[in-house]
Every structure is written in structure tokens, then in C-alpha cells.
Amino acid sequence: MNNENDFISPSETLKHFDYTDAEKQEILSRIIHIESIGHAFDPLAGFIYPVLADGKLDYDNFILAEEIHPENGISDKDYALLELHGI
């Protein structure tokens, strides 16, 4: 950005919102795995992250927990877990 009227590029925007390694470790310490849909739930933030094949979280493609509904393929047990956390 050269002046206050310039917009940042999409790649700069993504970089701005990247998690630090410390933040990623903090998230990992509190996630709850949602096996039925292959995701992990962060109860503090209310985000649900896809879990990649190597077991790492896909921090760039999270969704809000409120976006998950029983018709999304989540098991009754996992959905009850989300409801337990106020979703």
C-alpha cells in the first residue's frame, strides 16, 4: 500500500489474518475432534476447521459452528457435542 486510499491485495489480506505458530498451538490445545465430518471444533472461537489427511488443521478454510446442521452429515453424537457448547 502506498497511501491511505489504496486497498491491500487479496494475498496481503490473507497474510494479515495468518495465525502465528503460537496461536496454532493454542488452538490445537483446545480443539474437539468431530469425527463424523472430519473436522475439529474450537469451542473458544466457535470455529470448525477441516482436518487434513496428515492430521493438521486447515486454518484457512474454517466455518462458523452455527453453519453446521444435522443435515450436513454430522452424527447425532457430534451434533450434541456442539449443542453442549452452546451452538
The per-residue pLDDT string of the chain (87 residues; one tens digit each, 9 = 90 and over) reads: 455 556 656 555 555 567 888 999 999 999 999 999 999 999 999 999 999 999 999 999 999 999 998 888 999 999 999 999 887
Distance in angstroms (rounded) separating the CA atoms of residues 65 and 27: 15
Residue 24 lies in a domain: no
Which residues constitute the domain of residue 67?
A: 30-84
Report yes or no on 37 lying in a domain.
Answer: yes
pLDDT in the model for residue 1: 46
Residue 53 lies inside a defined structural domain of this protein: yes
pLDDT at position 27 is 94
| Residue closest to 39 by CA, chosen among 25, 26, 56, 23 | 56
pLDDT score recorded for residue 50: 97
Spatial neighbors of 54 by CB under 8 A, at least 6 apart, are none
Q: What is the DSSP letter of 44?
A: T
Query: What's the confidence (pLDDT) of residue 72?
Result: 85
Q: What is the pLDDT of residue 12?
A: 59
Q: How many domains does the chain have?
A: 1
20: in domain? no
